[in-house]
Chain A
Amino acid sequence: MGTGTGGIGAAGSRVLGFAGATQRAVGARWILRVAVLVVLVVLGISMLDDYQQQLVVTTMIYGIAAIALSVLMGWVGRPSLLTAASLLAGGYATVYLDDNLDLPFPAVLVGVTLVGALFGLIASLPARRLSGLYLLLSTMALFYLISDIGNIVQSKHQVLGGYFIESPTIGEKVLTQGTTWFVFVAVVTFAVLEYFTYLRRTRLGRGWIAIRDQEAAASVTGVRVGGSVALAFALTTAAQFLAGALFAYHLSTVSYTSYTLHMSINFIIMVVIGGLGRPVGAMIGAGIVTLVPSWMNSTFGDATTSDTWLTRNLGALESVVFALIGIAVLLNVRGRLKRRRAHMLSESADAVGDTGDRTELRGVSASYAAGETALDKVDLNVPAGQTVAVVGRNGAGKSSLLHALSGFPERSGGRVVAGDVRIHAEDRDTDLRSLSISERSDRGVGLIPAEDKVFAELTVREHLRDAIAAGAVRAKRNGSNPPTLEGILATFPALHGKLDRRAGLLSGGERQQVALAAALARQPYLLLVDEPTLGLSPVAIEGLEPILEEIRRSVPGGVVLAEQNPALAMRLADTVVLLEGGRVVRVAAPDDDVLEFIEERFLGLTALVGNEHHEPAAATRDHGITP
């Protein structure tokens, strides 16, 4: 008991200590953010005149709406063209609460935000059934509905210029003017930014990300998809209504004529420029979209009496500037340049001449967007021409290890956070971390994923034709013999009679053969195969084994095989690597002892498997495992 209590006490104090440390870290970060806000506001007050503050206020109000849209599109994966309509409806709600109900200014803002949340819940109804383009079109229809209602109501009231709103006052000071308004809007914007940043760290925020990435999987893990999406619409629309209220006070008027579909599209441009799902990026996007036209106007619009090409084409030029920025963001030009620089540095700095051609991982750690650690300081050496089998249970990090070599898919959120991933071949050293997935593929790194390895709509012949074309390019570059269909079919005779069949109609074993054949035809330098026997019958596995053996001989840089079937891995591999919890717990040549050890682990026969998560490394050492 005593020991137990002591253990719990120690664990408890560790937990409390961790919580305290985290709280301190978060608290310090928050204080830092407030300090940045204060500095920026003070700079704004002292450096900017009324006109420039006016521009910043517009930027911040647009920024609030853009942050909300960025959350909806980037985190929840729900596109929307509703933003301008939300601002308009927020403005109308402001007029009603301010003029008709005569509520005080703070109550108006709170009331409008609540109305926005309710409106968002209603607007979310189509999102329960629709996504992507269809959802976008439905939000566009809703935009027109609100705009048309605005037209009808304004027409009925005959308010051509829109509804006027009196500026709120504190004592004799008009709140919506000058520096007071600048500071007020800055504080509200900061609060909205902080709120959504906080939401991202909550269960709700994680649920949104899960829905965006894989709705069905999110549902299985207990995320209530419909409710979460509805809440996302409610919260983001509430923020946009709040922005609508501020905008209405800012302009002193609300009219449907000011809130166009073009305005909604501008918000999407802001979000794209800033990077989808990045609240601060959305603010930057809002700044660019607001300031670029003003800058162009100030620079080129002042044409006195002469009519110049520039003054006539300001609108088109603005569109071109936004398009260029948007394209640069979408193509991730910054990331590419960074990678290119790193690649050039590594190519020039490294001189190879040591232990021969190989692929290696040194101290590689990888994690996913939500912070899960997938690999922890992994070392791996794949000598040219050899096969390394990576074995481990589900979630051990096998696929992540392969992705560390091939590159993590964009939407996976995975990335290598530390360590080196390199190929040394023919006196050339390549830092794979500095390369994109396609650049690694170009370098000869091929991956056959565990799932989605073939394109269901393409025939076997189409698969092979594309692969042979790519292989021919590599062969020409390397001075080797180009692949031929006959040559491939000689290795994969089972595909001969199924060349014109769609890959989606093949059996699991046949699909695996198509994937392997295509991979081989591409003439990779290094081939990564993830779970080749996953879901296959014993007969199919038996048919696959000689093919894998053949591949092993023909891929010059070697093969890395992630496999759950330890017996098969033993037969194919020169080296076996056992992964557990993202860490390498054993590297050994295949033999019966290793097989026995692995099977015991897989079968969960040893006590060490069932113990606390951090224990296995120590326990495995006791069992003679090489860390």
Chain B
Amino acid sequence: MKFRHTKENAMKSTSAGRRRLVAAGALGLAMATSLAACGGGADSASGSGAFKIGVIVDQSGPVRTVSAPQLVGLKAAVRAVNDGGGVDGHKIELVIRDDGSDAAKGVAAFRELVDKYHVTTVTGFTSSATIPGVVNFAEQSKVSMLAAGVPGDLLNPVNPVVFTTVASINAQGTAAVDYLKTLVDDGKLPANPKVAMFHYSSPAGESWKSAVEPYLKEVGFDLVASETAAVGAPSYSAAVEAIVAAKPDAVLLTAAETDLINMMKSAQAAGLDPKIPIVNYSFGSGATALEGVSKLGFTDYVASTPFNSSGDNAGSKAYVDAIAKAGGNPNQVMVPEGYAQVQMIVDVLEKCGYPCSSDKFLDIVGDFDSDLGGLAFGPVKYDDKQHFGPTSVAFLGWDDASSSAKPVKSGIPLAGPAS
């Protein structure tokens, strides 16, 4: 009895297993159908006569607060171009994908843009987490990446498809030292000033330090403190107090807007001289950050930027108009970076003509030289030896009189591949 009973159970179990297998098969088919939907509508606009540009940004991940203004700049620029009749009579169409700063999502998005939409180039790329995973496929498919968050090791040695549209963090670091040199020349700092520096305990921060530290020695400055802490740390007091205790004549920082005010409040509490020059990289160059630090009483805080959002030139004025028309804030950090990406693409498309294949675009962008109508503080250059893009930066400070961000020093050259 027991034997028969157990056998029956085994048979029931087999039959249940079969049902599960059939269900698994059906699910597989259902997933295949949904996958088809994932790629649906592909290439539908290829006959519409528009240039298709892929955009990969972080709309749902940790970098979305930085991606959002970049996307505002990108969209505003495209709208302005299209309102003006497009490029060579052809409008630009952005195909936007979210990578959530997730490498796998980024790779999938890139493949979709290339395989399905046959985009001419892909831009955006706020997050450095996504770019390395995409590079292999970009190289195979000969699609250029005009990216904001390019890790330094993809620029040196030069990668054929990776182009940075913003100043590299290392180059910004050495430019900050050059800025201090101008203060020495102006007599605002002693001949061999004591310099303290703070960098994030991240690969980017370490890279910045590796460029700045030897350069400080090379120019004869005295490095009195080098402190570090994590991105988004709840407190920077320990690092800041160590810097204050070293009694520096100037401070070099890598502090994002989200950490900057926290850090400067700690500096205020620790008794840092409010007249001391404090030099930050571009993530601290937004009007909000500049004003916030100024309100804490630090009068000589500046941050680097490669783009002139308030200049008296055609490029800057067009920028302000386009952003205002799109309802954005031209002084917000990363808005000019997004806008500039589209301007670079437009410059290449004008030379490429319609239609512009991705490999033709790659050839042309590989020999690029433009100051974007004055929007950039100097030429943006790519050639077969380097893809560093912006060649000079300005340092912005807060102007209380006009209640706006103003360049304190401009035309500081950015070092190339050597840094």
Known: A36-B24, A161-B132. A43 touches B29 (CB 8 A): yes
B103 to chain A: closest residue by CB: A258
Q: Are A262 and B61 in contact (CB under 8 A)?
A: yes
Contacts of B136 in A (CB 8 A): 167, 252
Q: With an 8 A cutoff between CB atoms, is A297 at the interface?
A: yes
CB within 8 Å of A: which B120-135 residues = 127-129, 131-133, 135
Known: A43-B29, A51-B116, A252-B132. A155 touches B1 (CB 8 A): no
Q: How far is the CB of A120 from chain B (nearest CB, A)?
A: 23
> Which size class do B's interface residues fall under?
35 or more
B14 to chain A: closest residue by CB: A25
Q: Are B104 and A50 in contact (CB under 8 A)?
A: no
Contacts of A258 in B (CB 8 A): 102-104, 129, 133
**Residue from the set B38, B95, B136 with the largest chain A CB neighbour count within 10 Å:** B38
Contacts of A284 in B (CB 8 A): 27
Q: With an 8 A cutoff between CB atoms, is A287 at the interface?
A: yes
Known: A51-B116, A52-B36, A158-B203. A18 touches B7 (CB 8 A): yes
Against A, the Cβ 8 Å flags (1 = close, 0 = not) of B37-73 are 1111100000000000000000111101000100110
CA separation between A255 and B24, bound complex, in Å?
34
Contacts of A160 in B (CB 8 A): 128, 151-153, 203-204, 207
Q: Are B6 and A18 in contact (CB under 8 A)?
A: yes
For chain A, the count of residues having a C-beta within 8 Å of the partner chain is: 80
Against A, the Cβ 8 Å flags (1 = close, 0 = not) of B217-250 are 0000000000000000000000000000000000
Binds B, one of A310-318, A379-387, A541-549, A565-573: A310-318
Q: With an 8 A cutoff between CB atoms, is B191 at the interface?
A: no
Q: With an 8 A cutoff between CB atoms, is B115 at the interface?
A: yes
CB within 8 Å of A: which B1-19 residues = 1-3, 5-7, 9-11, 13-14, 17-18
Q: With an 8 A cutoff between CB atoms, is A422 at the interface?
A: no
Q: With an 8 A cutoff between CB atoms, is B314 at the interface?
A: no
Known: A295-B34, A315-B59. A158 touches B116 (CB 8 A): no
Q: With an 8 A cutoff between CB atoms, is B32 at the interface?
A: yes
Binds B, one of A219-227, A299-307, A348-356, A493-501: A299-307
Contacts of A152 in B (CB 8 A): 201
Q: Are A314 and B14 in contact (CB under 8 A)?
A: no
The number of A-B residue pairs with CB atoms under 8 Å apart is: 216
Q: Are B153 and A158 in contact (CB under 8 A)?
A: yes
Q: Are A298 and B210 in contact (CB under 8 A)?
A: no
**Residue from the set B2, B25, B203 with the largest chain A CB neighbour count within 10 Å:** B203
Q: Are A298 and B98 in contact (CB under 8 A)?
A: no
Q: Are B75 and A291 in contact (CB under 8 A)?
A: no
Q: With an 8 A cutoff between CB atoms, is B213 at the interface?
A: no
CB within 8 Å of A: which B95-113 residues = 95-98, 100-105, 107-109, 111-112
Contacts of A280 in B (CB 8 A): 20, 24
Known: A151-B203, A263-B102. A373 touches B5 (CB 8 A): yes
CA separation between A158 and B2, bound complex, in Å?
68
Known: A52-B35, A251-B104, A291-B34. A297 touches B98 (CB 8 A): yes
**Residue from the set A295, A301, A305 with the largest chain B CB neighbour count within 10 Å:** A305
Q: With an 8 A cutoff between CB atoms, is B158 at the interface?
A: no
Q: With an 8 A cutoff between CB atoms, is B154 at the interface?
A: yes
A150 to chain B: closest residue by CB: B203
Classify the secondary structure of A's interface with B: helix
Against B, the Cβ 8 Å flags (1 = close, 0 = not) of A10-37 are 0000100010011001001100110010
CA separation between A301 and B116, bound complex, in Å?
14
Q: Are A51 and B98 in contact (CB under 8 A)?
A: no
Instruction: Name the one of B2, B28, B35 contacting A291, with C-beta atoms under 8 angstroms.
Output: B35
Q: Are B10 and A257 in contact (CB under 8 A)?
A: no
Instruction: Name the one of A250, A299, A613 contacting B104, with C-beta atoms under 8 angstroms.
Output: A250
Contacts of A617 in B (CB 8 A): 1
Q: Are A293 and B103 in contact (CB under 8 A)?
A: no
Contacts of B95 in A (CB 8 A): 302, 304
CB within 8 Å of B: which A218-256 residues = 247, 250-253, 255
Q: Are B133 and A305 in contact (CB under 8 A)?
A: no
CA separation between A613 and B1, bound complex, in Å?
10
Q: Are A614 and B2 in contact (CB under 8 A)?
A: yes
Known: A151-B203, A376-B5. A253 touches B133 (CB 8 A): yes
Q: Are B59 and A155 in contact (CB under 8 A)?
A: no
Contacts of A62 in B (CB 8 A): 104
Q: With an 8 A cutoff between CB atoms, is B269 at the interface?
A: no
Q: Are B96 and A43 in contact (CB under 8 A)?
A: no
Contacts of B203 in A (CB 8 A): 151, 154-155, 158-160, 255
**Residue from the set B25, B31, B71 with the largest chain A CB neighbour count within 10 Å:** B31
Q: Are B153 and A159 in contact (CB under 8 A)?
A: yes
**Residue from the set B27, B92, B103, B111 with the largest chain A CB neighbour count within 10 Å:** B103
Q: With an 8 A cutoff between CB atoms, is A368 at the interface?
A: no
Contacts of B101 in A (CB 8 A): 257, 260
CA separation between A48 and B115, bound complex, in Å?
12
Contacts of B127 in A (CB 8 A): 257
CB within 8 Å of B: which A39-70 residues = 39-40, 43-44, 47-52, 54-56, 58-59, 62
Known: A159-B153, A302-B96. A52 touches B14 (CB 8 A): no
Contacts of A151 in B (CB 8 A): 201-203
CA separation between A167 and B95, bound complex, in Å?
29
Q: With an 8 A cutoff between CB atoms, is A162 at the interface?
A: yes
Q: With an 8 A cutoff between CB atoms, is A538 at the interface?
A: no
CA separation between A373 and B135, bound complex, in Å?
58
Q: Are B36 and A29 in contact (CB under 8 A)?
A: no
Instruction: Name the one of A40, A253, A293 contacting B98, with C-beta atoms under 8 angstroms.
Output: A293
Contacts of B24 in A (CB 8 A): 36, 280
CA separation between A311 and B96, bound complex, in Å?
9
Contacts of A14 in B (CB 8 A): 3
Q: How far is the CB of A620 from chain B (nearest CB, A)?
A: 13
Contacts of B1 in A (CB 8 A): 614, 617
Q: With an 8 A cutoff between CB atoms, is A4 at the interface?
A: no
Against B, the Cβ 8 Å flags (1 = close, 0 = not) of A271-303 are 000000000100010010011011101110111
**Residue from the set A14, A280, A293 with the largest chain B CB neighbour count within 10 Å:** A293
Contacts of A33 in B (CB 8 A): 21
CA separation between A191 and B132, bound complex, in Å?
30
Instruction: Name the one of B2, B20, B112 contacting A613, with C-beta atoms under 8 angstroms.
Output: B2
Against B, the Cβ 8 Å flags (1 = close, 0 = not) of A581-604 are 000000000000000000000000
Q: Are B132 and A294 in contact (CB under 8 A)?
A: no
Q: Are B133 and A251 in contact (CB under 8 A)?
A: yes
Q: Are B131 and A161 in contact (CB under 8 A)?
A: yes
Q: Are A307 and B133 in contact (CB under 8 A)?
A: no
Instruction: Name the one of A247, A307, A314 contacting B60, with C-beta atoms under 8 angstroms.
Output: A314
Q: With an 8 A cutoff between CB atoms, is A334 at the interface?
A: no
Q: With an 8 A cutoff between CB atoms, is B376 at the interface?
A: no
Contacts of B75 in A (CB 8 A): 305-307
Q: With an 8 A cutoff between CB atoms, is A164 at the interface?
A: yes
CA separation between A156 and B39, bound complex, in Å?
41
B75 to chain A: closest residue by CB: A305
Q: With an 8 A cutoff between CB atoms, is A2 at the interface?
A: no
Q: How far is the CB of A53 from chain B (nearest CB, A)?
A: 9
Can you list 7 residue pairs at the A/B interface with Cβ under 8 Å? A158-B206, A255-B103, A257-B128, A263-B102, A295-B38, A299-B37, A316-B60
Q: Which residues of B are interface residues toward A (Cβ below 8 A)?
A: 1-3, 5-7, 9-11, 13-14, 17-18, 20-21, 24-25, 27-29, 31-32, 34-41, 59-62, 64, 68, 71-72, 75, 78-79, 82, 92-98, 100-105, 107-109, 111-112, 115-116, 127-129, 131-133, 135-136, 151-154, 201-207, 210, 326
Q: Known A-B contacts: A62-B104, A294-B105. Give 15 more (CB < 8 A).
A: A25-B10, A32-B17, A36-B24, A40-B28, A48-B35, A152-B201, A160-B207, A255-B203, A258-B104, A284-B27, A297-B109, A301-B98, A307-B75, A314-B98, A614-B2
